[in-house]
A and B are shown apart, each in its own frame.
Chain A
Amino acid sequence: MPKRVGIEVSIAASEAVRLANVDAIAAYPITPQTHIVEHLSEFVANGELDAEFIPVESEHSAMSVCCGTSAAGARTFTCTSSQGLALMSEIIFITSAMQLPVVMILANRSLSGPLSIWNDHTDVMMVRDCGWIQVFGENGQEIFDLTLAAFKIAEDHRVLLPFMVNMDGFILSHVIEPVEIMDQETVDKFLPPYKPLYRLDPDNPVTMGAFAMPDLYTETKKAQDERLKDSLPVIEDVWKEFGDLTGRYYKPIETYKAEGAKTLFVTMGSFGETASTAVDAMREEGEKVGLCKIRLWRPFPYEAFWDAVKGAETLIVIDRATSYGGPGGPVASELRSALYTWDDTPKVVDFIAGLAGRDVAPRDYQEMYKRAQERIQSGDIAGYEIYGVRE
């Protein structure tokens, strides 16, 4: 029987990894990811999880070890944050090209400098184009569920891609929430053991990680791009299956009170919860606002996004990273680009907010809503506004 318990989200995430019966974990400690690796090493030390825990000397080696364990045929997990992701980023890109289904939780944290341990999305946006499946969880339950489902999606032979579950650092990682922890029997029914398509086996030798000359490189990249795009229906299928089993259904794009909304906030990760509170308050005041939450960031679900926003007049996008000197925050830039191919598209007003743990409360959404109206009236919606700067 599933158990609903009050639990720190990092511990819930570790429970998901334990229930997935992973074979190997390689990780290096970095705030705010540490609670996950601590709990996983406890499981291994107590014999509650039969896995190799490899306490590496850097994040670069963490991802390199993960490539090795995954290529050997082991179900593999790691987690990191911020600078750790930056250090391992070289290998992140290779992991996807080599089709190694490593699952990672990224406890999102801002990048230095100035040094900050607090939450935003500058780390994940740095590796936007790394070829991993990338999802964002909004609360503890979602992190637990998405992590479990991640193994099934990543290891599906139609997919075979690494999978990144984004979890807002501190805001999610260090809070205690009610989470329903699945029982082992249900998990086993949902998630079969990993059957690698290829592994490093002396009886069936394969060469992994060959180099490509210009006459083949483009073809490998086209194949990789198609593989990532083609994972979308598998992701939807697995989430559907998970929903049928647990009653908790997930979609690439989620909406809240979006029907009849003239203005939609667009958020990712834990901001969705605060934004929905703000939407409730504004709806009570008679404002036609709603919320669009991007759960699946890669592969980007264009159709679902368009279906969610096509009736709206304005999208207020909350970016949590800066693209210095660019046309907008990374999310708004992408959404503008995605909308460009359709007619009668909503206006996109971009705010960069909540950098490095700066709190964004419901009243801030109301304030951004007001600012957005002002910007639209004055015809100044190009670019972006860094919200809440203390002058």
Chain B
Amino acid sequence: MEKFNVYAVRLLPKGEAIAPGHRACQGCGEVLGVRLVGKALGRDTVVACATGCMEIISSPLPTTSWRVPWIHVAFENAAAVASGVEAGLKVLMRKGKIPKKKINVLAMGGDGGTSDIGLQALSGALERGHNLLYVCYDNEAYMNTGIQRSSSTPFGAATTTSPAGKLKPGQMTWKKNMPEIAVAHNIPYVATACPSYPFDLTEKVKKAAKVDGPAYIHILSVCPTGWRLPPDLTIRAGRLAVETGIFPLYEVEEGKYHLSIEVPKLRPVEDYFKIQGRFRHLTPDLIGKIQERVTKEYNKLLAKVRFSEEMP
């Protein structure tokens, strides 16, 4: 992988699925992820997009940023719309009504559209086995409506509906483990990724596009606006999330776990917290509590990786 990185940049297609000139915030990690996913999938792709940041920054009538066919219907149904697109293309090819060729069907939504309101539609699509890729761009809150907490907001983070007050220090629940929920559907491919590791991300997307059946990729999408972070620190924040073990990069192929980036010694979680305003209020006690949880979860993941290595 390291050697691959040296020349991989030349291997990335020049074509873009999303055009420059969209309305995303400065330093938006999410639209960077969208761009990389688009590059990896190429132009023979249809996108079904949930309502959210990526929808409103790219499609104000009468303009569009999309260079591939793109459909937005509502907030909670991107996985269902993509199911329909996949089924529709399949039957039309089978009946000879459109030319036969491989077309990637991509569903995309934010963490709210995926782990909260869209969870049912996603579960249905994964269970039915549609040949599609679902990408969750997780910026850890409802950023489009103004930084409200979601089930994907991490413990301790201040949002506008989990504010750091005198009694409650921000979000008091642990982040929902969405990739594990996808794994529980026994689909062929699940991965986590982050635009701070662009080639790892594009390789995973290409792999996901190749599998026969549903694939799920969970992309940590740094949000300077919502995380109270200078926009020039987006890439660094993503790297720190990985290096602290808060957001480990891994793949689950046919049920087998594999760590994408091995971190010999995890950095303390403070390194990640101290550059973000949303964690500014955390006391050493709370940071200790979070550190304990992160270490425990990371070790759980390592155990799954070790177990997978021994699997036949």
Please list the residues of chain A having a beta carbon within 8 angstroms of any beta carbon in chain B: 23-24, 26, 50-52, 54-58, 60-61, 64-74, 76, 90-91, 94, 98, 193, 200-202, 204-213, 216, 220
Contacts and interface: CB of A to CB of B under 8 A. Distances in A.
A23 B88 contact: yes
Contact of A60 (B72, B85, B121, B128): B121
18 contacts: A24-B87, A24-B91, A64-B81, A65-B80, A65-B81, A65-B87, A68-B80, A71-B84, A72-B87, A73-B88, A73-B92, A74-B91, A200-B46, A209-B71, A211-B56, A211-B59, A211-B61, A216-B62
A94 B91 contact: no
Most buried by B among A51, A73, A205: A205
A94 to B, nearest CB: 5
B80 A60 contact: yes
A76 B70 CA distance: 19
Interface of B: 43-46, 48, 55-56, 59-64, 66-74, 76-77, 80-92, 94-95, 97-98, 103, 120-121, 123-124, 127-128
B84 A69 contact: yes
A210 B60 contact: yes
Nearest to A95: B73
Most buried by A among B59, B71, B98, B123: B71
A231 B74 CA distance: 26
Given A65-B87, A205-B68, A211-B60, A98 B73 contact: yes
Given A55-B128, A211-B60, A71 B71 contact: yes
Nearest to B85: A68
B46 A56 contact: no
B121 A71 contact: no
A363 B41 CA distance: 67
A57 B121 CA distance: 7
A146 to B, nearest CB: 25
Given A23-B88, A24-B88, A61-B80, A201 B120 contact: no
Contacts of B66: 205, 207
A15 to B, nearest CB: 20
B90 A52 contact: yes
A90 B84 contact: no
A65 B83 contact: yes
A202 B46 contact: yes
A206 to B, nearest CB: 6
Given A206-B69, A209-B59, A68 B95 contact: no
Contacts of B61: 210-213, 216, 220
A90 B92 contact: no
